[in-house]
Each structure stands twice: as structure tokens, then as C-alpha cells.
Structure 1
Amino acid sequence: VIYKDSLDMNMDDRKMLAKIIMESKDDTFIVVHGTDTMHMSAEFLSEIFEDRKIVFVGAMKPFEIDAIEASFNLGMAIGFAKALKEYGVYICMSGYAEPWKNIQKNTKFGKFEVVS
């Protein structure tokens, strides 16, 4: 619904995303998001929602350049979202699906990693 580079995402965009989720009757959402500011949007939504399952997903390389990574991550996010039992905000990237606080982007190695 926003269609912009995540570096251009601002608070108004995050508020619009929150409004869409808030007004929905569903409790499970997959948010396709650029990786540069994914953690900022995940943190923002985690402060608002305690009764939703929100899974952020993206790709380190644009779909147009490498469709395999983007497709894999999206498929994994869909499966993870369907199996989720607990509410929360999650990030599904690089073969990991974790609460947003437990995963971060490693730009040096071009992937997301689990952090303790």
C-alpha cells in the first residue's frame, strides 16, 4: 500500500500501516518491507499492537535482480505466520523467523542474523 524505498519511509507511512492493521478484522499480517528500515517499522508496530501477529519480510536483493531470495523469504513468512501461536511482531529473513528484537541486518555479510 505504500510502495516506496524503505529509506524514504517516515512516521506518517508507519502510522498509515498501523491504521490499516488496526481497522482490519484479521489478526495475522505479513508486511513486505525494505530491509534498511524494517526494524524501525517493526519496533513502531510492536509498541501499538499486543493482539496481532505481524511478520515483516523482505529481501537483501530486489526481486528484479534475484527472485529466488525474495520468493523464499515470502514463502517462509507465509508458513511461519500460519503456524504462529503467539501475538507479536516478527522478522522473517535469511532463513530465520524471530521476534523483531532478536534479529538484525548485517550489511557486511548481506544477511540477517539472530542476536541474543
Structure 2
Amino acid sequence: MKITFIQTGGTIDKDYPKVTKGWAFEFGEPAIQRIMDKLEPAFEYKIVTACQKDSSQLLKKDLDEIANLIRHDNGVKFIITHGTDTMIQTALYLNKVVKDKLVIITGAIRPERFSNSDAPINLGSAIAATNLLEKGIYITMHGVVKSHLDINRNLETGKFF
């Protein structure tokens, strides 16, 4: 099994400022790599970066880039790390343009750098789901794995269900 991970940014990848008196989070290396280093996976993988943005800042050209990375890759299993604000919209877009591939979108409510981050469990759920699901577009967050058509989000709590 081989999985292609695609970094797009979002909270999962946010990092502390690297300058003095910095206050805003920055994007750095993919959180995926730090998590995979701890996992020592029994499968092949690669990590590619489509962009490093807050999901509310994604443009159509960014979505096109994500879709092109998937369509032109020989693999069939993809996990996208993404900001939670627009992951459902990205899933709906990808469903229109990506066929015959398994795509799972996940992210985190708290950055992977935080000790109480949900990033490792969400990424782990996505990895496990690649062993069980057929082609299609899915989202996994908060211990839930659902088709992009069946998942919802409570905007008051931020939880997906």
C-alpha cells in the first residue's frame, strides 16, 4: 500500500512564530512528517505540498492544484491535511473533478505542535480508513469517518458528525 499525503495548510500545520515579538502562527514543514516519524509506518508514503494557507484563504486555483496533484499521481490513495473551515467545500469540489481515487480529508482543531492536539488521532483515523474504504471522497474528524455527502459540522461546537 502507498499513500500520498497532500499538505494544504490549515490549523494542523500551524507553527509558533520564529521571530522575536511574533504573534501570528506561521506555516512550516508538514505536520504529517512529524506524525509519521513517530508512527514508523509499515507502508510506503510520500508527502507533497499543494499550498500552505488557512483554508478560508484557499482560491479556486489552489483547489485546481490539489485536484491536479491527485489526478496526475499514479497512486490511488490520498490523504489531504486541510483547514477545518472549508474542508467540506473542498471535498464537494474534488468530487466533481477527481474520479477513481480514494481521497480522505482531515485536519485538526489545535495545531499538531500543541501537546493536546487532535492531529495525530485524526491523521491516524485517515490512515486506517485508507485500508477499509473504496474510491470516493471522505472526511475524517473527531473519530468520525464519513462520505463528503454525509458529514456535517456543528458550527457552535466545531465538531464534525
Query: Is residue 2:74 matched to residue 1:25?
Result: yes
Report the equivalent of 1:54: 103
Name which of 91, 106, 109 aligns with 2:139. Answer: 91
Structure 2: give runs of 5+ residues left out of the alignment. Answer: 1-48
Alignment of 1:1-116 (within 5 A): 1=49, 2-84=51-133, 86-113=134-161
The change in CA–CA distance for 1:66 and 1:33 in structure 2 (over 3 A counts) is: farther
Aligned-residue CA RMSD in angstroms?
A: 1.3
TM-score by length of 1: 0.90
Quick one: distance in 1 between partners of 2:98 and 2:144?
22
Letter in 2 for 1:36: D
SS in structure 1 of the partner of residue 113 of structure 2: coil
Letter in 2 for 1:111: K
TM-score by length of 2: 0.66
Aligned residues: 112
Identity %: 34
Rg bigger for which structure? 2
Tell me the alpha carbon deviations over residues 39-62 of structure 1, each in whole angstroms, 9 at most, x when there is no partner.
Answer: 111111101122010000011222
Structure with the larger helix share:
1
Which of structure 1's runs of 4+ aligned residues deviate more than 6 A? none
Structure 1: give runs of 5+ residues left out of the alignment. Answer: none
